[in-house]
Amino acid sequence: MSSTAADSLAERLALLNERIQRACVDSGRSLEEITLIGVSKTKPAADVTAAHELGLHDFGENYLQEATGKIDALQGIAATWHYVGNIQSNKTKEVAKYFDWVHTVDRSKIGQRLSAQCPAGKTIQVLIQVNIDDDPNKGGCSSAQALDLTHQLMALPNLQIRGLMTILSKDSKPRDSYESVAQLFAQIAAALPAAQQAYWDTLSMGMTDDLEQAIAAGATHIRIGTALFGARG
């Protein structure tokens, strides 16, 4: 990465951190509650390295084939890798091998395969993707299915179920939809045994255009690509 590109990345990250900090102040939340995930899909390993040197440690990838090569090339950095794309059944072995977090589990079969194919000694942190807007073009289980799926996944030995994730419909009202996810999160928490409630702590929601609404609604992890790495080529 050229020095000019690195400076631009640093400026974008600083502006993004300012937005997150203002959103936390406006919603009465602590900055420490928010994890920024830099969605590095289509971006080269050099961009990830540069962002890591600026203090970012969590990175999200959508495209498995691209991601595995990138992660292999970046084994020397202490990064946490989040899979945020659609999961095909025949790709679960690689997802389980390469990623620390999986945000997009929306059916029991995928959870079972991730657990069965998880490398020895590893526990995968898992979020259940909910299609909160009932958008036929988005992945995710329905709100009505979420509690039952949570119980099914929590019975699997190599997964730690941490909470919910959503991707909104382009026609949704972000604050309303995010509030609905937060309400569902609380409802599920109330139905879990105390030992499981202790790990039920994550809401992955919010992107470049609506991170303020997501933070106000209770997001703990926000997934940012364009505002950090710039427009995809």
pLDDT value, residue 186: 98
CA nearest to 82, candidates 104, 66, 110, 65 = 104
How buried is residue 193: exposed, middle or buried, by Cβ count under 10 Å (0-12/13-18/19+)? exposed
Ordered mean pLDDT values, 10 residues apiece, the chain (233 residues): 80 96 97 97 94 97 95 96 96 98 98 98 98 94 97 97 96 95 98 93 96 98 94 69
Tokens 């919910």 locate to: 164
Return the amino acid letter for 63. Answer: Y
Torsion-angle region of 143 (φ positive above 0: left; ψ -120 to 50: alpha; else: beta): alpha
Per-residue pLDDT at 37 = 98
Tracing tokens 């292999």 back to the chain, one arrives at: 72
**pLDDT value of position 8:** 92
Q: What is the pLDDT of residue 1?
A: 66
Q: 3-229 sits in which CATH class?
A: alpha beta
Domain ranges for the chain: 3-229
Looking at residue 114, what DSSP letter applies?
H
Would you state the pLDDT for residue 77? 95
Place of tokens 């937005």: 19
Structure tokens at 149: 């799926």
Q: What is the pLDDT of residue 80?
A: 98
pLDDT score for 3: 72
Predicted structure pTM score: 0.96
Q: How high is the pLDDT of residue 209?
A: 92
**Cα dihedral angle (15, 18, 23, 24), rounded to 10 degrees?**
150
